[in-house]
Amino acid sequence: MLIGVAFKYSKDSREYEMAGGVRKSELIHISTLSRVKAASETSSRDNSQTA
């Protein structure tokens, strides 16, 4: 059913989200945030080890 909704409305539509999918734009946003968070945690650990 989810594939049918994605075909009719696209994977970045509110209808796709209401059917239980995750919008494509949200996936991009979430992955970017997790990458930035991981990079900042790594740099803060590196700074605490050298201090």
- The ranges assigned to domains in the chain are 2-50
Report the C-alpha gap between 23 and 44 in whole angstroms.
32
Compute the average pLDDT of residues 5-15: 86
- For residues 13 and 23, the answer to whether their CB atoms sit within 8 Å is yes
Give, as one character, the DSSP assignment of residue 13.
S
Compute the average pLDDT of residues 4-10: 86
Per-residue pLDDT, 25: 77
Burial (CB count <10 Å: 0-12, 13-18, 19+), residue 16: buried
Residues 6+ apart with CB under 8 A from 31: none
Mean pLDDT score of the chain? 76
pTM of the predicted model as reported, rounded to 2 decimal places:
0.50
